[in-house]
Amino acid sequence: MTPARRRIWAWAFYDWANSAYATVVIAGFFPLFFREYWGSGLEQAERTFWLGAANSTSSLLIVLLAPLLGAVADRAGMRRRFLIRFALLGILATATLALIGAGHWGLAAGAFAVATVGFMGANVFYDALLVEVAPPGEGDRVSALGYGLGYLGGGVLFAACVALALIPETFGLADRAAAVRLSFLLTAIWWAVFSIPLLRTVGERDGLRLPFGQAFVEGVGQLLQTLRDIRRHRQVALFLAGYFLYIDGVDTVVRMAVDYGMSIGFGTNDLIAALLLVQFVGFPATLLFGRLARPLGARGGILFGLALYAGATIWASNMTSTWEFYGLAVTIGLVQGGVQALSRSFFARLVPADCAAEFFGFYNMMGKFAAVLGPVLVGWVGWLADDPRTGILSLLLLFGGGALLLLRVRTPVDD
């Protein structure tokens, strides 16, 4: 394997590493365990509030920090080092979840918020390193490889953790609670071990590497300048506006699927099985999307995915049986990773390489800000209509608005 190929695989394997947190903790066990174990003494509305507050707080911190830290990392040549620091924060906080006993919902929510800051913060610099490892013209394929490995890695560990939770006595565990707490520890270990290839193999190109203090001052100045002169980067701003809308819908599906399924009467085991299905369908489907970008282009692939998301949203608002929930899981698995991967590579085409971390800071800021507002929109509309099915239909506004803005973006190739 050539050195360039090793760098690509080492970079992509970080997605295999950290996606375990997204699957096992964010989408899977934490919402269920917070409800049944840590927050069992709280009223339902209070549990929901504190769970939402933990998610929103971590997202808001990244919204505020990502662009500034990205600008500093560009000037100090510290993308890789910032990635390590945030990943270590997330790994340690995830391991801490395994130590928190029943009823300590405040500690659990705090540790989850810190772990999620580490997870999302590291992704800012991981995404920015795409421009370091992807050869010219290969960004779509390399980005899809990362997301594909993420789905596979997250799915493998989640499957193992589900087995622990379903038959804990087979593995010498006292009960389901012990199995879930062990799952948090295994997630932290998985994240740490599979980050090693990136840390050993992927560096940064030679260029501007200022002392940290000077980089911070210049980074602040550059960030303010970018905010003032955003019209000079009109295509970047236009893409970010569209991305904000449609990734809001994507992230809301990820974060609200379990809650929506429970609200219309599906059981916990069916929800967990559907999450597993998304992971294993998502692996080959994401790699296929990387190839789909060749004839359709990254924009065409994203628009195709958004059309399927819109169809799935309408279907979800009318479903009544378990098999339909599994069918939706397959549909989401087919497009979720592809939309994420092609969005990342499409954005990489628009930004200057020497400011990649700063611009990917804004990119991640848009995505995480969507995670703050998206669930609120679905919940608010559902509350007004007194029907969660109506609430889920509000996602059509996000997918449609994002698609319309994306159609207006011109890449350098268009010029």
| Coil, helix or strand at residue 78 | coil
Q: How far is CA 383 from CA 50, 83, 376, 387, in A?
A: 18, 39, 10, 7
Mean pLDDT over 257-268 rounds to 67
d(CA 119, CA 121): 6
- pLDDT for 157-206, tens place per residue? 988 998 898 888 888 888 888 898 999 999 999 999 999 999 888 876 65
Residue-level pLDDT at 182: 94
The stretch 335-341 carries a mean pLDDT of: 81
What average pLDDT does range 78-84 have in this prediction?
84
- For the chain, domains (ranges, CATH) are 3-202+209-409 (1.20.1250.20)
Q: What angle do CA 353, 114, 351 make, to 5 degrees?
A: 10
Q: How confident is the model at residue 292 (pLDDT cuts 50, 70, 90)?
A: low
Q: pLDDT category, 118, cuts 50, 70, 90?
A: very high
Among 103-112, 165-174, 316-325, the least confident range: 316-325
Instruction: Please choose, from the candidates 301, 304, 309, the residue with its C-alpha nearest in 3D space to the C-alpha of residue 345.
Output: 301
- Distance between CA atoms of residues 341 and 254, nearest Å: 15
Q: What is the DSSP letter of 100?
A: P
Give the whole-angstrom CA distance, residue 383 versus residue 50: 18
**pTM for this model (two decimals):** 0.72
Does 207 have pLDDT greater than 60? no
Please give the average per-residue pLDDT across 35-47, as a whole number. 71
How many alpha carbons fall within 13 Å on the CB side of residue 242? 23
Is residue 353 predicted with pLDDT exceeding 90?
A: no
pLDDT bucket at 145, cuts 50 / 70 / 90: confident
Under the banding of pLDDT at 50, 70 and 90, the label for residue 52 is low
Per-residue pLDDT, 245? 87
- The pLDDT of residue 14 is above 90: yes
* Spatial distance between the Cα atoms of 367 and 127, rounded to a whole number of angstroms: 13
Looking at residue 415, what is its pLDDT? 40
Residues in the chain: 415
The lowest-confidence range among 18-32, 153-167, 235-249, 265-279 is: 265-279
pLDDT grade for 6, boundaries at 50, 70 and 90: confident
Q: Which amino acid is at 345?
A: S
| Position 91 confidence tier, pLDDT thresholds 50, 70, 90 | very high
Read off the pLDDT band of 93 (50, 70, 90).
very high
Q: 369 pLDDT exceeds 60?
A: no
Q: What is the mean pLDDT of the chain?
A: 79
Whether 368 has a pLDDT exceeding 60, the answer reads: no
The yes-or-no verdict on residue 95 having pLDDT over 60 is yes
Please say if the pLDDT value at position 380 is more than 80: no
What are the residues whose beta carbons fall under 8 Å from the beta carbon of 297, sequence distance 6 or more? Answer: none
Pairwise CA distance, residues 24 & 189, whole Å: 13
